[in-house]
């Protein structure tokens, strides 16, 4: 039997209704912040991620699903949503829309990672990108939205950590100091880190290798080398978050795994598992990197599978939607009546089931019970002739006589 590829997941009906509930609540919140949905291709030209996410990141160096298509072009399955969204923003002239442009997405992402708890090869992200505002107020707006998502899903055990990783101006000074620190033990770092030393030493701080992590202890932190503008920006973010009553911790160790970040970066951590559920930050250079005008932006993405774990723990009462009615019928004329009623009630938005097996009375009863139908109507010869039947509430056992007429039944199902 062919099995699903490692690191992928089937979302079955026993779970998909929970995804739908989560997505519905999140969508409502995104609407309230006036973010609009964007959908971008599953695959892009490889160069987009090389330039956007960064040549020296783990994502680009180790984790991309890259292949040549039949036309010989190098194509990559999107490992994240920001690069594609910014490409679409530029390619479709969205810069001429009222600024800021506020976009959200809910899309599958692909990373060839070592599979473990909370780490898949196909996973989903709900993300937002706020393009156009360089103000600290935009950072706060986006962080508040992130916080509100956890609130909307009744998830309490979440910790917000923030940091600033500066701008290209202050970073070059920091990189010098960092190279001095790492350079002392460079021969002990992994081969990937060695290749990062000259081009992008900050990436070394993000290495997942145990030995490299140990060597990184005590490294100088970007937050201590911020220029005045970045420092001011970060102070304003912190003070506004405090005003908004949002609790946060400063974690100078957050470097984020993608190269496009500038200034504020943040993560929401599941306090029970220690996993990062939401990651994001400001990326003021990306639009320009892709050939557009200088345009600041800020955003985040939540890992939906990780979020689902937390949602499940905190929302045990969410139940699958059950059919409003099962219409039981045996015999061809009775079946016609059942079909007519089913069609018309379904058009009115009710969930209605009927026999499509030519099953016996008894097995239809069993089936109606198994699928948890809330009400049951039996159409037999008598009911057909009199056009009157009993509707039974399956939870209370209560029965009522009703005319076999859509409007009458509708009133009871409501
Ligand atoms: P990221 O930190 O790479 O950021 O991913 C965001 C979230 O996606 C993570 O916190 C995690 O919950 C989830 N995630 C990442 N990799 C996996 C995986 N292999 N399996 C399961 N979940 C995973 C970004 O992707 C940025 N594009 C976020 C962003 C948007 N920054 C600005 N705008």
DSSP structure string for 51-113:
HHT-TTSHIIIII--EEE-TTS-EEEE-S-SHHHHHHHHHHTTGGGSSSSEEEEEEEEEE---
Contact 363, 336 (CB under 8 A): no
Nearest-angstrom CA–CA distance, 190 and 390: 75
pLDDT of residue 195: 92
Give me ligand 1 centre to Cα 292, in Å.
Answer: 24
Q: pLDDT tens-digit profile of 26-62?
A: 999 999 999 999 999 999 999 999 999 999 999 999 9
| Ligand 1 atom closest to residue 82's alpha carbon, by position in its atom list | 27
Cβ contacts of residue 125 below 8 Å, gap of 6+?
A: 80, 81, 105, 106, 107, 109, 301, 302, 303, 304
Q: How far is the CA of 53 from the centre of ligand 1 (A)?
A: 12
Q: How far is the CA of 168 from the centre of ligand 1 (A)?
A: 23
Which atom of ligand 1 is least distant from the CA of 118? 21
Alpha carbons 130 and 322: distance in angstroms, whole number: 38
Pocket of ligand 1 (CB under 6 A): 80-82, 111, 113, 118-120, 123, 125, 127, 129, 257-258, 276-281, 283, 299-301, 303, 305-306
Q: Please give the number of the atom of ligand 1 that sits closest to the Cα of 120.
A: 20
How sure is the predictor about 208, in pLDDT bands with cuts at 50, 70 and 90?
Answer: confident
- What is the share, in percent, of the chain residues with pLDDT greater than 90? 98
* 36 three-class SS: strand
DSSP state for residue 116 in the 8-state scheme = B
Strand-strand pairing, 122-131 and 297-303: antiparallel
Question: What per-residue confidence (pLDDT) applies to 228?
Answer: 97
- Using alpha carbons only, how large is the chain's radius of gyration in Å? 28
Confirm if 184 and 177 have CB atoms less than 8 A apart.
no
Q: Which atom of ligand 1 is nearest to the CA of 111?
A: 19
* Most ligand 1 atoms within 8 A of CB, residue of 11, 38, 53, 80 to mutate: 80
Q: What is the pLDDT of residues 100-159, one digit of tens each?
A: 999 999 999 999 999 999 999 999 999 999 999 999 999 999 999 999 999 999 999 999
pLDDT of residue 109: 98
Q: How many Å lie between the centroid of ligand 1 and the Cα of residue 115? A: 15
Q: Which of 195, 203, 307 is nearest to 256 (CA)?
A: 203
CA-nearest residue, atom 14 of ligand 1: 303
pLDDT at 27: 98
From ligand 1's centre to the CA of 338, what distance in Å?
49
- Which residue puts its alpha carbon closest to atom 30 of ligand 1? 300
The pLDDT tens digits of the residues spanning 153-182 come to: 999 999 999 999 999 999 999 999 999 999
Is the Cβ–Cβ distance between 353 and 326 less than 8 Å? yes
Tokens 């379904």 appear where? 346
Return d(Cα 273, Cα 308) in angstroms, integer.
Answer: 13
Distance CA 266, CA 316 (A): 29
Atom in ligand 1 nearest the alpha carbon of residue 127: 30
The three-state secondary structure class of 388 is: strand
> Using CA positions, which residue lies closest to atom 29 of ligand 1?
300
Cβ contact 275:269 at 8 Å: yes
CB 165 within 8 A of CB 284: no
Q: What is the pLDDT of residues 233-260, one digit of tens each?
A: 999 999 999 999 999 999 999 999 999 9
Ligand 1 geometric centre to CA of 98 (Å): 28
| Phi/psi of residue 300, nearest 5 degrees | -155, 165
Mean of all residue pLDDT scores within the chain: 97
pLDDT at 245: 96
Neighbours of 403 (CB within 10 A): 12
């Amino acid at each position: 039997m062919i099995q699903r590829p490692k690191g992928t997941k089937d979302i079955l009906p026993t779970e998909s209704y929970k995804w739908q509930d989560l997505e519905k609540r999140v969508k409502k919140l995104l609407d309230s912040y006036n973010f609009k949905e964007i959908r971008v291709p599953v695959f892009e030209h490889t160069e987009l991620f090389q330039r956007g996410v960064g040549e020296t990141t783990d994502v680009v160096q180790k984790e991309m699903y890259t292949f040549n298509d039949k036309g010989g072009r190098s194509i990559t399955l999107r490992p994240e949503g920001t690069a594609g969204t910014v490409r679409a923003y530029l390619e479709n002239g969205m810069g001429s829309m009222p600024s800021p442009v506020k976009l959200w997405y809910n899309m599958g992402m692909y990373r060839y990672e070592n599979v473990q708890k909370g780490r898949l090869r196909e996973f989903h992200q709900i993300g937002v990108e706020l393009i156009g505002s360089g103000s600290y107020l935009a950072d706060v707006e986006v962080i508040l939205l992130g916080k509100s998502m956890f609130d909307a899903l009744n998830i309490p055990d979440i910790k917000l950590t923030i940091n600033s990783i500066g701008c290209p101006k202050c970073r070059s000074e920091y990189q010098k100091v960092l190279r001095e620190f790492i350079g002392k033990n460079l021969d002990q770092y992994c081969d990937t880190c060695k290749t990062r030393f000259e081009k992008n030493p900050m990436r070394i701080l993000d290495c997942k290798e145990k030995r490299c992590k140990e060597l990184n202890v005590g490294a100088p932190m970007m937050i201590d080398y911020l220029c005045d503008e970045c420092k001011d920006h970060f102070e304003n973010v912190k003070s506004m978050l405090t005003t908004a009553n949002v609790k946060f911790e400063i974690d100078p160790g957050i470097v984020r795994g993608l190269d496009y970040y500038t200034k504020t970066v943040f993560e929401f951590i599941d306090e029970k598992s220690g996993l990062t559920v939401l990651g994001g930050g400001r990326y003021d250079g990306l639009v320009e990197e892709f050939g557009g005008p200088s345009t600041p932006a800020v955003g985040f993405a939540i890992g939906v599978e990780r979020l689902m774990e937390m949602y499940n723990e905190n929302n045990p009462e969410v139940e699958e939607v059950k059919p409003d009615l099962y219409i039981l019928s045996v015999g061809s004329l009775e079946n016609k009546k059942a079909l007519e009623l089913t069609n018309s009630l379904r058009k009115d938005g009710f969930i209605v089931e009927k026999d499509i097996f030519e099953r016996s009375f008894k097995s239809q009863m069993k089936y109606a019970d198994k699928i948890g139908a809330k009400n049951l109507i039996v159409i037999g010869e008598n009911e057909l002739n009199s056009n009157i039947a009993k509707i039974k509430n399956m939870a209370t056992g209560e029965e009522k006589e009703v005319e076999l007429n859509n409007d009458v039944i509708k009133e009871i199902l409501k």
